[in-house]
């Protein structure tokens, strides 16, 4: 039987998404700019086009409303896009959708369709300024806009090829099985009385600390039995799992607080054994879990273990969402103030600087 051939062509529709937060500090003062006047956000790019948020504090043609628009700024351009205009509830930090178009429509820079929506009634002023709504706090307002640009589709050339089935390597699964079954293990770690077997060469290949411990000048005389201090067995097992598989073990059964605590412990372990990839993944997860309650603890952890990216995220969170007063009321803040006062001073100075830089200009 001759070989089978298969022809394939592919039409690929693509989109690009982006979100911009527009912070307006001194909201009450913006009303003095006059009727039908607007404040323009900084320019942001999505899908190869430049966009901005227009805010009319006194509305357009009707002072009972405030008006907000997404505007296409790119000259001589047409873009198919959908959008979601939101207001951030500054009590909980969550954005609330107010007006959106989920079906892509045409924005043309040459006419009025460069603006979306095509009507001025964004929200009644009475609802907008209501204290319990949480949109305005300390005379600060945050408008958020999520934009999805539909890009020009791509049609590939027709390809002809013979079908050959390629088996996946399953490398991480194989190494994970090797760790689990302990076959060929040549080192045993004692962690709080629990013995955990592993393979020196794999650990040394992944961690410069283990490499020095097993093969460098600091290697231990009895390198087949090593006691690990100041670490819990389940954390050390998770560290080994990442070393062997480049992934974290399944933690779906953990409650939210327990999951956050586990990621913190794994960051400490990654820093201890110079596992930079693991450490950066922990930083990213902790930045995504950041809220008022965890802010102080995460800031202290980031400072102690030289996580500059995570520390910057904490400072930006404090500055842009007006969370300083809320953070001061947490237990984590009290601990941080007692143990690391210099971290707080540095964070507050940078947060204040960030707020000054981020203040919008009236147009």
pLDDT at 211: 93
pLDDT at 324: 59
Judge if 26 and 150 occupy the same domain.
yes
Among 154, 182, 217, the domain boundary falls at: 154
Judge if 195 and 248 occupy the same domain.
yes
Q: Is 162 a domain residue? A: no
Long-range contacts, stretch 37-40, CB < 8 angstroms, 24+ apart:
37/363, 38/67, 38/363, 39/360, 39/362, 39/363, 40/71, 40/363
Q: Is 355 a domain residue? A: yes
Judge if 17 and 150 occupy the same domain.
yes
pLDDT at 77: 95
Judge if 275 and 329 occupy the same domain.
no
Judge if 178 and 256 occupy the same domain.
yes
Is residue 303 within 8 A of residue 340, CB to CB? The reply is yes
Is residue 68 within 8 A of residue 119, CB to CB? The reply is no
Let me know if 67 is exposed, middle or buried by CB neighbors in 10 A (0-12, 13-18, 19+): buried
Among 230, 249, 281, the domain boundary falls at: 281
How many CA atoms does the CB half-sphere of 200 hold within 13 Å?
16
Q: Is 110 a domain residue? A: yes
Q: What is the count of structural domains for the chain?
A: 3
Q: Is 8 a domain residue? A: no
Q: Is 161 a domain residue? A: no
Let me know if 355 is exposed, middle or buried by CB neighbors in 10 A (0-12, 13-18, 19+): middle
d(CA 114, CA 106): 8
End-to-end CA distance of the chain: 75
Judge if 201 and 184 occupy the same domain.
yes
Judge if 180 and 130 occupy the same domain.
no
pLDDT at 277: 95
Q: Is 150 a domain residue? A: yes
d(CA 40, CA 32): 15
d(CA 215, CA 277): 22
d(CA 126, CA 63): 11
CA distances (Å), origin 221, targets 186, 213, 252: 14, 10, 40
| Bridge partners (DSSP) listed for residue 69 | 54
pLDDT at 9: 84
Phi, psi of 230 (to 5 degrees): 60, 40
CATH number at residue 201: 3.30.710.10
Domain span at residue 223 reads: 171-281
Structure tokens at 48: 């190869």
CA distances (Å), origin 44, targets 5, 21, 49, 53, 112: 47, 10, 8, 9, 20
Among 281, 310, 331, the domain boundary falls at: 281
d(CA 228, CA 226): 6
Judge if 191 and 312 occupy the same domain.
no
* DSSP states of 268-305: HHHHHTT-HHHHHHHHHHHHHT--HHHHHHHHHHHHHT
Q: Is 163 a domain residue? A: no
Judge if 18 and 142 occupy the same domain.
yes
Judge if 201 and 325 occupy the same domain.
no
CATH number at residue 336: 1.25.40.420
CATH number at residue 106: 2.60.210.10
Is residue 81 within 8 A of residue 149, CB to CB? The reply is yes
Judge if 145 and 19 occupy the same domain.
yes
Q: Is 350 a domain residue? A: yes
Within 8 A by CB and 6+ apart from 222, the residues are none
| pTM of the complete model beyond 0.75 | no
pLDDT at 105: 93
Within 8 A by CB and 6+ apart from 249, the residues are 237, 238, 241
Judge if 17 and 148 occupy the same domain.
yes
Q: What is the mean pLDDT of each run of 10 residues along the chain (363 residues)?
A: 70 92 94 91 96 94 91 96 95 91 94 90 90 93 96 82 73 92 94 96 95 81 84 97 95 92 97 96 93 83 90 78 60 61 58 51 38
């Amino acid at each position: 039987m001759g070989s089978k051939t298969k022809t394939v062509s592919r039409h690929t529709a693509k989109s690009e998404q982006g979100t911009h937060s527009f912070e307006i500090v001194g909201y009450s003062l913006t009303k003095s700019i006059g009727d039908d006047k607007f404040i323009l956000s900084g320019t942001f790019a999505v899908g190869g086009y430049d966009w901005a948020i227009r805010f009319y504090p006194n509305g357009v043609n009707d002072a009972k409303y405030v008006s907000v628009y997404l505007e296409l700024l790119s000259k001589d351009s047409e873009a198919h896009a959908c959008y979601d205009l939101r207001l951030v509830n500054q009590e909980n930090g969550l954005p609330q959708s107010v007006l959106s178009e989920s079906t892509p429509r045409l924005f043309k820079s040459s006419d009025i369709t460069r603006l979306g929506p095509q009507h001025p009634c964004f929200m009644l002023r009475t609802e907008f300024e209501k204290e319990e709504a949480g949109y305005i706090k300390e005379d600060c307002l945050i408008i958020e806009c999520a934009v999805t640009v539909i890009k020009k589709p791509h049609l590939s050339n027709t390809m002809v090829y013979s079908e050959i089935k390629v088996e996946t390597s399953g490398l991480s699964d194989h190494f994970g099985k090797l760790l689990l079954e302990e076959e060929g293990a040549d080192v045993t770690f004692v962690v709080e009385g629990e013995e955990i077997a592993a393979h020196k060469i794999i650990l040394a290949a992944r961690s410069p600390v283990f490499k020095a411990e097993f093969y460098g000048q600091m290697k231990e005389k009895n390198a087949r039995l090593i006691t690990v201090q100041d670490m819990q067995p389940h954390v050390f097992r998770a560290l080994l799992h990442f070393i062997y598989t480049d992934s974290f073990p399944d933690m779906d059964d953990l409650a939210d607080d327990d999951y956050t605590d586990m990621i913190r412990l794994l960051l400490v372990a990654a820093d201890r054994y110079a596992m930079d990839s693991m450490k950066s993944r922990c930083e990213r997860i902790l930045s995504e879990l950041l809220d008022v309650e965890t802010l102080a603890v995460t800031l202290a952890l980031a400072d102690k273990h030289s996580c500059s990216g995570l520390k910057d995220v904490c400072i930006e969170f404090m500055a842009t969402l007006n969370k300083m007063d809320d953070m001061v009321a947490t237990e984590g803040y009290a601990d941080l103030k007692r143990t690391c006062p210099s971290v707080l001073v540095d964070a507050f100075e940078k947060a204040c600087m960030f707020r000054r830089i981020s203040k919008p200009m009236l147009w």
